[in-house]
Amino acid sequence: SEVKKIAVLGGDGIGPEVVGEALKILKRTEELYGYQFETEHGLFGGIAIDEKGTPLPQETLELCQGADAVLLGAVGGPKWDNNSKELRPETGLLGIRKALGLFSNIRPANVFDCLKEASTLKPEVLEGTDLIVVRELTGGIYFGEKFRREGANGEEAVDTCVYNVQEIERIVRQAFDIAMTRSKRLASVDKANVLETSRLWREVVNRIAVEYPEVELEHVLVDNCAMQLLRRPSSFDVIVTENMFGDILSDEAAMLTGSIGMLSSASLGEGSFGLYEPVHGSAPDIAGQGISNPIATILSVALMFRLTFGYHDAAKSIEDAVKDVLDAGHRTGDIAVDKSSAIGTTAMGDLIAAAM
Amino acid sequence: SEVKKIAVLGGDGIGPEVVGEALKILKRTEELYGYQFETEHGLFGGIAIDEKGTPLPQETLELCQGADAVLLGAVGGPKWDNNSKELRPETGLLGIRKALGLFSNIRPANVFDCLKEASTLKPEVLEGTDLIVVRELTGGIYFGEKFRREGANGEEAVDTCVYNVQEIERIVRQAFDIAMTRSKRLASVDKANVLETSRLWREVVNRIAVEYPEVELEHVLVDNCAMQLLRRPSSFDVIVTENMFGDILSDEAAMLTGSIGMLSSASLGEGSFGLYEPVHGSAPDIAGQGISNPIATILSVALMFRLTFGYHDAAKSIEDAVKDVLDAGHRTGDIAVDKSSAIGTTAMGDLIAAAM
Ligand SMILES: CC(C)[C@H](C(=O)O)[C@@H](O)C(=O)O
Ligand SMILES: CC(C)[C@H](C(=O)O)[C@@H](O)C(=O)O
């Protein structure tokens, strides 16, 4: 098979360490399955600000544009928090999404058996929770016009939330397609009782629903969804929503599984290209100590194999290996009950690679 | 003492029934404490649409404007869901907030001992949870310009989120004042890494914080807050945030207490005037059956006594009576473990009035 090019952006904090373990998994996949990967590293986020004066250097963008997929660690840290907008890591994140046309963020939120107890929800409520949040990623209030102006009552700030039919259609169609591969249930989340963008959203969803008669569709208001995720998490299958609501709800959903340190995500555009990253952040407080948990990043590689490369055999092998290593009782500090027996980042990576 | 005028808007679904029990409590308060109330009913919500062709008739607005406080049941129902915007109950709700200048929505989210088990959160996580969400209620994306237009990629919809310094100042100052009466901890929630309105919000919060050196302030991003409410609910005291984030987070916070059917809320403007209502909705499915739980509405009266009238003695008497009745084992169906022994709406109201 052809060589797959992967742009590797370690980023900040624990990003480079966890990505390092994911690279081990790529190497192991080559040995076991004969697939071939060409990886190239790029500067992104805070480290790119420090070294290149911008969170998303042109050469990093070009590296990604020339790749089949991007593997990202995490960006950000207190060091850059008070910078002006152009010099903040998250500006790079928003920039790369827009520049690569990654309009869809996919976050599976499932419960790891060994972490059931880690959730703050009661186990019986959590039982069977396995949902996916499909979040629109390049539109809405994130990318609309923003400015300050003098108003009648002093300075005012303005953000604009804009959605067009085409932007809504492509994300909604993708969500229906994903629902078709699962339990065929889709919850579309909006605030149609208040927002014009939500009313357009709902119209488009209803129009596209006709093409998917098998999918059971429910419209849920965003405030109600924030409640229902708590009340009946296992009743959700696929949730599709706009950018800002998706930001909030996908974090809520991830947290309620208790497995947030283990969850991976994909950001997709048209075609098979995708950017893959763990849901957790850059955890600057534990960076460089070799104690971070690489599993979410390793599972992001499995997601990349499934969604971008169609390497389902290797993806399954990674997922099974993670399960086996956890079942055998190995834990990094973040998920260990007995912290004294916790293993480090590289030990965890080695064990998973060996278990494949 | 002078006669207090209360505008009573029963609204739709179970609204009129639960408000009926709250009126019993007003009467009982007159007997016990010598306070005097003059109540007048107004049409509001779906019933006003049916009878007057608008969810907020002019005479209802004038009734409220001439009152010292408003007691609201709940509005809405499937009957009006597909109406055009002007003929939907929630348009009345947004209209009354704006017309009465109710810029602040206050929602205490605490855990009722007898309902501890009703939460989907583990009891040990919930332990000690007692927070207040202070939500800005007349600004932001709810009230900014909204429209449709033809764009390059077909029809598009636009919502505008606007905040000026004065709007932010008054709600933030109120939140600091509330924090001063409690544990002196304030979490200000925004999305300052993305939104211009949030950056202005944060600037104002930091400026006002200087006036409250005793209050421990934390800035929390909205997505992180949705997570932290699940992870460490009891660590929050007062949360202040803008309209849309407040809509989502206050519902999440209410639901995680497990006590959502028992929670009251206040919407306040400048001065002592306020609108009081239960957090729960109009529950059209059980309307008219006499089985709804009036406690949230009765506790809204207690909140009115505290915040608008300063009748702390009577407020405490109501709160204690509710506690006593629950401690004695009386339950409406929604909170009963053994549904067969559940009592009805009026029986619950009578018991609480008698226990005052
Ligand atoms: C860092 C921030 C801009 C970003 C977002 O809001 O999209 C993050 O919260 C995420 O969800 O990836
Ligand atoms: C009905 C709706 C317009 C309203 C809101 O979003 O403010 C409701 O959800 C609330 O929180 O009171």
pLDDT in tens, B314-327: 999 999 999 999 99
CA dihedral B148, B149, B151, B156 (to 10 degrees): 10
Contact B120 A248 (CB under 8 A): no
The residue with tokens 């939460």 is B119
Query: Are B325 and B355 within 8 A, CB to CB?
Result: yes
Taking only the tens place, the pLDDT of each residue in B167-195 is 999 999 999 999 999 999 999 999 999 99
pLDDT score, position A118 = 87
Task: Sort strands B130-136 and B238-241 into parallel, antiparallel or unpaired.
Answer: parallel
How many Å apart are CA A349 and CA A108, to the nearest integer?
Answer: 22
Q: Which helix (H) or strand (E) holds B353?
A: helix B345-355
* Banded pLDDT at A115 (limits 50, 70, 90): confident
For CATH 3.40.718.10, the residue range(s) in chain A are 1-100+273-356, 111-262
Of B344, B351, B296, nearest in space to B327 by CA: B351
Ligand 1 centroid to Cα of residue B39, in Å, is: 49
Domain spanning B1-100+273-356: CATH superfamily: Isopropylmalate Dehydrogenase (3.40.718.10)
Report the alpha-carbon angle B100-B102-B106, nearest 5: 150
Which ligand 2 atom is at minimum distance from the Cα of B97?
Answer: 7
pLDDT at B115 over 90: no
Taking only the tens place, the pLDDT of each residue in B215-248 is 999 999 999 999 999 999 999 999 999 999 999 9
User: H helices of B53-118, where?
Assistant: 58-65, 78-81, 89-99
Q: From the candidates A247, A276, A311, A334, give the one annotated as an active-site residue.
A: A247
CB within 8 Å of B41: residues ≥ 6 apart: B8, B9, B10
How many Å apart are CA B259 and CA B253, to the nearest integer?
Answer: 10
CATH match for B104-262 among 3.40.50.720, 3.40.718.10, 1.10.1270.20, 3.40.50.20:
3.40.718.10
pLDDT at A90 over 70: yes
Q: Which residues of B are catalytic?
A: 142, 191, 223, 247, 251
**Closest ligand to residue A105's CA:** 1
pLDDT score, position A338 = 86
Q: From the candidates A68, A190, A191, A276, give the one annotated as an active-site residue.
A: A191
pLDDT score, position B116 = 83
Q: How far is CA A54 from the centre of its chain?
A: 23
Q: Which of A88, A120, A191 sits opposite B125 (nearest CB)?
A: A120
For CATH 3.40.718.10, the residue range(s) in chain B are 1-100+273-356, 104-262
Contact B227 A252 (CB under 8 A): yes
Q: Is residue B77 a known part of a binding site?
A: yes
pLDDT score, position A153 = 83
Of A155, A214, A152, A151, nearest in space to A185 by CA: A214
Q: Name the DSSP class of B2.
A: P
* Banded pLDDT at B138 (limits 50, 70, 90): very high
Q: What average pLDDT score do residues A329-337 get?
A: 92
pLDDT score, position B1 = 66
Confirm whether A142 is a catalytic residue. Answer: yes
Q: What average pLDDT score do residues B69-91 get?
A: 95
pLDDT at B18 over 90: yes
For residue B143, give both structure tokens.
């009230």
String of DSSP letters for B188-246: EEE-TTT-HHHHHHHHHHHHHHTT-TTSEEEEEEHHHHHHHHHH-GGG-SEEEE-HHHH
**If you average pLDDT over every residue of chain B, what do you get?**
96
Which ligand 2 atom is at minimum distance from the Cα of A221?
Answer: 9
Q: How many CA atoms lie within 13 A of B296 on its CB side?
A: 32
Which ligand 1 atom is at minimum distance from the Cα of B221?
Answer: 9
Q: How far is CA A52 from the centre of its chain?
A: 26
Strand order in the sheet with A146-151: A146-151, A154-164, B154-164, B146-151
Confirm whether A130 is a catalytic residue. Answer: no
How many Å apart are CA B187 and CA B239, to the nearest integer?
Answer: 5
pLDDT score, position B337 = 84
Q: What average pLDDT score do residues B282-292 get?
A: 96
Q: Is residue B89 a known part of a binding site?
A: yes
Q: Which helix (H) or strand (E) holds B285?
A: none
Q: What average pLDDT score do residues A303-320 get?
A: 97
CATH match for A111-262 among 3.40.50.720, 3.30.465.10, 3.40.50.2300, 3.40.718.10:
3.40.718.10
Confirm whether A251 is a catalytic residue. Answer: yes
Q: How many CB pairs under 8 A join A and B?
A: 174
- Pairwise pLDDT comparison (B101 vs B154), residue with the higher score: B101
Confirm whether A276 is a catalytic residue. Answer: no
Query: Are A312 and A300 within 8 A, CB to CB?
Result: no
Q: Quick one: residue B246, left, alpha or beta (phi over 0 = left, psi -120 to 50 = alpha)?
A: alpha
pLDDT score, position B117 = 85
For residue A11, give both structure tokens.
């980023």
Q: From the candidates A142, A163, A276, A311, give the one annotated as an active-site residue.
A: A142
pLDDT score, position A1 = 65
Q: Which of B196, B231, B250 sits opposite A120 (nearest CB)?
A: B231
Residue nearest to atom 5 of ligand 2 (CA): B247
How many Å apart are CA A176 and CA A208, to the nearest integer?
Answer: 9
**How close, in Å, is residue A310 to chain B by CA atoms?**
31
Q: Is residue B278 a known part of a binding site?
A: no
How many Å apart are CA B172 and CA B178, to the nearest integer?
Answer: 10
Q: What average pLDDT score do residues A75-100 get?
A: 95
Q: What average pLDDT score do residues A82-100 get?
A: 95
Q: What average pLDDT score do residues A307-328 get?
A: 97
